[in-house]
Amino acid sequence: MIKRLLALCLVTVLALPVCAKNISGDWHNDLRTLFLRNNAIIYAINLRTFSAQDKNGNEIIDENEESGNFVNAVHELDNLVKMGINTIHVLPVTPVGKIKAMGTAGSLYAIYDFTTLNPQIVSKQSSLSPKLQAKRFVKECHNRNIRVIVDLPSCGSYDLFLEHPEYFIKDENNNPVTPLDWTDVRLFDVGTEKSVNEDLLNLHKKFVDMLVEIGVDGIRADVARLKPKAFWSELIKYTRAKDPEFLFIAEASKLWNQPVSKYALNTSVEDLFDAGFDGYLGSYVNLKNMTTSKELITTVTDDLKLFRKYDNQKSVIGSFSTHDEVSPIQIHGSDFSKMIIWLNTTLPMNSYYIDGFPTGDMYNYQWANKIAPSSQTDDVYYFSHNGQLDIFNFSRKPQGKDTYIYDEFVLANKFKAYYAQDLSIAQFIPLKSSNPKVFAYARAMNNQSLVVIGNLDFNSSQESVIKVSGFKPNMRILNLRVQLNNNNEYTKGKIKAILTPGQIEVLLIKRLVL
């Protein structure tokens, strides 16, 4: 019976339509609304690699090959639609520093200029200006009902320091401050809560002007805690006067309670929300270290308690895997990726994925940290963080070969889109599990409920009895997972889950009202 219902569920959900094209071409930004309802399915891309043409397969873009840019990226957008993506997060599009750089192209986060676009992502084959190329790219995204978020770097390149030392904090020896081990950037002197640096604030306003002109729908602020509440309040107010639906996401987490330098600010998450941020990174990057259900459930409930403090809605992204994190495949194998997919789908959050995730890219580059024959920076090495998306060089398009992850990715995104309205208001209900390694929760929807059960032990199988109030074994149960062996036992008010290492189950139970 369960197998027949599973087959029926897969056929039904896979037949659901993907994002319809915006045929009229008349775009109205709705990103804040989408995000605050937890309906955004966000895909992060590095334009230098997103559509890179690596013809000889050496994983680096040589002089006779084309790196990713605004023009050829358009050809990849239909693939995002097929995967169910409705929002993209574009990693920084501003020019990068070349002095004291990391990698042969320079880190995307070593910003050199706030007012122009990175020439590295501008097609030399097009007669359009850089801004017109960017406008066309954003318009093509909007034509497919894909919203666009652009990253705002937090620190300046050494090149920018040499031209404008007045923008930067100096130490006791009058040297610019290097935060942590970010040796290619220097710490901006943004001022304090009582006295904001107006010159830097105006530069950020010009950055916003450029994005609004291009048609961008939101900003993700890198290391947002480095700027004071007053700075962000003014910038967000300035932006919302232009577009009330413009989204602001802060890269911030409760996990980061230490400043990146003794000279740096460490603005709290609460102050960032007070300043007008709609959401933040959250603490889900720590899933890889969680071993008990309590850790995961507490992370969710703490966020919900935090958001209830504000009159204006707030939300969070499913930051389980980002460009700063090692590929899930390297951490706990493909089962970890599948767990991330369904947590993104079923928890009260916005789904978030990095380019290459849906196919299981391990981001192991054969040239990593070797001497390069040529470079656009003063770094003669192909600098790389092992297991992380390359943001330092002109490299291949992110792409793995795991079709099973891809199938679940597509299915989960279609499910989330189909049930978007229900999930946006569904109550989050932690369920009691007899095994601390097995988490369980429910989302109460209209005359049905989602019950999600997962094993945080990626080495051993685990069993657990889950208490589900009102559950009856004769209720219709649809298991949404692809190719899953279901060995559960169902009795009144209880589900005995028998889970393989890292297994997650997603049960849609009809007539279950919690």
Q: From CA 446, how far away is CA 469, in angstroms rounded?
A: 16
Paired with 504 in beta bridges are 454
The answer as to whether 249 is a domain residue is yes
Q: Between 296 and 479, where is the model more confident?
A: 296
The answer as to whether 137 is a domain residue is yes
Q: Rounded mean pLDDT of 68-92?
A: 98
**Residue found under tokens 């559950």:** 471
pLDDT at 257: 85
Please report, as a single letter, which amino acid is at residue 200: L
Residues 157 and 231 reside in one and the same domain: yes
**Residue found under tokens 């309802």:** 37
Which of the listed residues 342, 373, 395 is the one where a domain comes to its end? 395
Evaluate whether 504 touches 339 at the Cβ level (below 8 Å): yes
pLDDT in tens, 441-463: 999 998 899 999 999 999 999 99
490-496: which pairs have CB atoms within 8 A and are 24 or more residues apart?
A: 493/467, 493/468, 493/469, 494/465, 494/466, 494/467, 494/468, 495/451, 495/453, 495/465, 495/466, 495/468, 495/471, 496/463, 496/464, 496/465, 496/466
Residues 105 and 174 reside in one and the same domain: yes
- Give the model's confidence band at 26: pLDDT under 50 very low, under 70 low, under 90 confident, else very high: confident
Residues 364 and 466 reside in one and the same domain: no
CATH of the domain at 438: 2.60.40.1180
Domain that holds residue 250: 29-395
Q: From CA 306, how far away is CA 309, in angstroms rounded?
A: 6
Residues 35 and 129 reside in one and the same domain: yes
pLDDT at 5: 40
Per DSSP, the three-state class of 145 is coil
Predicted confidence (pLDDT) at residue 20 exceeds the cutoff of 70: no
321 CA to centre of own chain: 7
The answer as to whether 221 is a domain residue is yes
Residues 453 and 377 reside in one and the same domain: no
Structural domain tally of the chain?
2
Q: From CA 450, how far away is CA 352, in angstroms rounded?
A: 20
The answer as to whether 409 is a domain residue is no
Residues 368 and 458 reside in one and the same domain: no
pLDDT at 2: 41
pLDDT at 63: 87
185 CA to centre of own chain: 23
CB atoms within 10 A of CB 208: 20
Evaluate whether 250 touches 62 at the Cβ level (below 8 Å): no
Residue 485's φ and ψ, nearest 5 degrees, are: -85, 115
Q: From CA 1, how far away is CA 450, in angstroms rounded?
A: 19
Evaluate whether 114 touches 204 at the Cβ level (below 8 Å): yes
Evaluate whether 36 touches 73 at the Cβ level (below 8 Å): no
Residues 173 and 280 reside in one and the same domain: yes
CA dihedral for 321, 322, 326, 330, sign (positive or negative) = positive
pLDDT at 8: 43
**Residue found under tokens 């935090």:** 306
- Give the model's confidence band at 15: pLDDT under 50 very low, under 70 low, under 90 confident, else very high: low
Residues 138 and 215 reside in one and the same domain: yes
- Give the percent of the chain with pLDDT over 70: 94
Q: From CA 1, how far away is CA 255, in angstroms rounded?
A: 45
Which of the listed residues 372, 395, 418 is the one where a domain comes to its end? 395
pLDDT at 481: 87
Q: Are strands 351-354 and 489-491 parallel, antiparallel or unpaired?
A: unpaired
3-state secondary structure 450-496: EEEEEECCCCCCEEEEEECCCCCCCCCEEECCCCCCCCCEEECCEEE
The answer as to whether 158 is a domain residue is yes
Per DSSP, the three-state class of 505 is strand
pLDDT at 12: 52
User: Got the DSSP string for 235-300?
Assistant: HHHHHHHH-TT-EEEE---TT--S-SSTTS----HHHHHHHT--EE--SGGGGGG--SHHHHHHHH
pLDDT at 24: 56
The answer as to whether 21 is a domain residue is no
How many residues are recorded in the chain? 514
Q: Rounded mean pLDDT of 169-182?
A: 95
- Give the model's confidence band at 485: pLDDT under 50 very low, under 70 low, under 90 confident, else very high: low
The answer as to whether 321 is a domain residue is yes
Per DSSP, the three-state class of 127 is coil
- Give the model's confidence band at 514: pLDDT under 50 very low, under 70 low, under 90 confident, else very high: confident
Paired with 151 in beta bridges are 220
pLDDT in tens, 127-157: 999 999 999 999 999 999 999 999 999 999 9
Residues 282 and 361 reside in one and the same domain: yes
Residues 123 and 247 reside in one and the same domain: yes
Torsion angle (degrees, nearest 10) of CA 115, 116, 118, 122? 150
CATH of the domain at 137: 3.20.20.80
pLDDT at 11: 45
Q: From CA 438, how far away is CA 293, in angstroms rounded?
A: 6
Residues 339 and 210 reside in one and the same domain: yes
Q: Rounded mean pLDDT of 195-216?
A: 98
The answer as to whether 402 is a domain residue is no
pLDDT in tens, 225-260: 999 999 999 999 999 999 999 999 999 998 898 999
Predicted confidence (pLDDT) at residue 23 exceeds the cutoff of 70: no
Residues 389 and 435 reside in one and the same domain: no
- Give the model's confidence band at 4: pLDDT under 50 very low, under 70 low, under 90 confident, else very high: very low
Predicted confidence (pLDDT) at residue 7 exceeds the cutoff of 50: no
Q: Rounded mean pLDDT of 305-316?
A: 96
pLDDT at 487: 82
Q: Over the chain, what is the mean pLDDT? A: 94
Give pTM, 2 decimals.
Answer: 0.96
